[in-house]
Structure 1
Amino acid sequence: MDDLDRKLLSALAADSSTPTSQLARQAGVARSTVQARIERLKHSGVIAGYTIRLGETAERRRIRATVLLHIEPRSTAPLVQRLKTMPQVESCHSTTGRMDLVLQLVAESTGELDEALDRIGAIPGVRDTESLIHLSCKFDRRT
């Protein structure tokens, strides 16, 4: 990856709907160069896809939680497969320490979140859970 690739990735990360012609003007290169670079970045796996980022108004209506899981030995793979089927589970990370997995959940209501937490606790292999409900965001470097 060179400076042009990094500029394109930065611009697309800020707004993935930026037209190719605008990216080319910003980078000072031909539109065809930008198209070729983006295709190369896709094929090499650097760009895995495009998504939207919800605005503050939509995000404020959602309830977020971090859930820590302590699980049975050798139950990670089937447990993770079950978690993947739950739309409320945004991410799942293995970790060190007394807990084995860290989940990020999002729900439209406390009832939906409560139901998701009950379903997680009932998955075979889950020994213990600890839920941390997010109250407010002080800052987020991803935005």
Structure 2
Amino acid sequence: MDDLDRNILGLLGADARMSVAVLARRLKVARSTIQARLERLETTGIIAGYTVKLGEAGRQGRLRASVLITIEPRAQAAILTRLKSVAEVERVFTTSGRFDLLLQISAPNTQVLDQVLDEIGAMTGVRSSESLIHLSTKIDRAI
């Protein structure tokens, strides 16, 4: 990846609906150059897809939480398989330190969130969990 690729990604991160023509104009390169770069970024997996980033108004009415879990050795594959079937689990990250996994969860209400937390805590191989409920977003630079 070079500076042009990073600039394309930066512009698309701010507005994924930006057309090839607008990208070319803003970056002062030919449309064919932008099109070729986008195709390469997609085929190499740098761009995995184009999506909508919800603002605060779009996230209203949803409880969000981060859940830190410690698991038994060699239980990760089985736990990840089970977590994939839990619709409220949006993302799972491996971590360093005293926790093994970091989960991002979104639920419509406290009852569902409580059920999901109980389900995760009861999974075979989960030693312990700690949940942190998100209150408000102060900074969001995620692309």
Q: Which residue of 1 aligns with 2:59?
A: 59
Q: Report the aligned-residue RMSD.
A: 1.5
| Deviations, residues 41-77 of structure 1 (Å, cap 9, x unaligned) | 1112211111110122111322111111121121111
Q: Which residue of 2 aligns with 1:12?
A: 12
* SS of 1:90 mapped into structure 2: strand
| CA drift at 1:78 | 0.4
For the residues of structure 2 that align with 1:98 and 1:34, how far apart are their CA atoms?
A: 44
Q: Which residue of 1 aligns with 2:79?
A: 79
Alignment of 1:41-56 (within 5 A): 41-56=41-56
| CA drift at 1:95 | 2.1
Counting aligned pairs with the same residue, the percent is 54
* SS of 1:42 mapped into structure 2: helix
| CA drift at 1:109 | 1.4
Q: Which residue of 2 aligns with 1:24?
A: 24
Aligned CA distance change for structure 1 residues 4 and 95 (closer, same or farther; 3 Å): closer
For the residues of structure 2 that align with 1:130 and 1:78, how far apart are their CA atoms?
A: 20
TM-score (norm 2): 0.91
For the residues of structure 2 that align with 1:32 and 1:122, how far apart are their CA atoms?
A: 54
| CA drift at 1:4 | 1.8
* Higher mean displacement: 126-135 or 91-100: 91-100
| Deviations, residues 92-140 of structure 1 (Å, cap 9, x unaligned) | 1222333221111111211221111111112111121111111122222
For the residues of structure 2 that align with 1:75 and 1:2, how far apart are their CA atoms?
A: 39
Structure 2 residue ranges without an equivalent (≥5):
none
For the residues of structure 2 that align with 1:96 and 1:46, how far apart are their CA atoms?
A: 24
Amino acid at match of 2:31: R
**Number of residues paired by the alignment?**
143
For the residues of structure 2 that align with 1:114 and 1:57, how far apart are their CA atoms?
A: 24
Structure 1 residue ranges without an equivalent (≥5):
none
Q: Which residue of 2 aligns with 1:68?
A: 68
| CA drift at 1:16 | 0.8
Amino acid at match of 1:5: D
For the residues of structure 1 that align with 2:51 and 2:98, how far apart are their CA atoms?
A: 34
TM-score (norm 1): 0.91
Aligned CA distance change for structure 1 residues 128 and 2 (closer, same or farther; 3 Å): closer
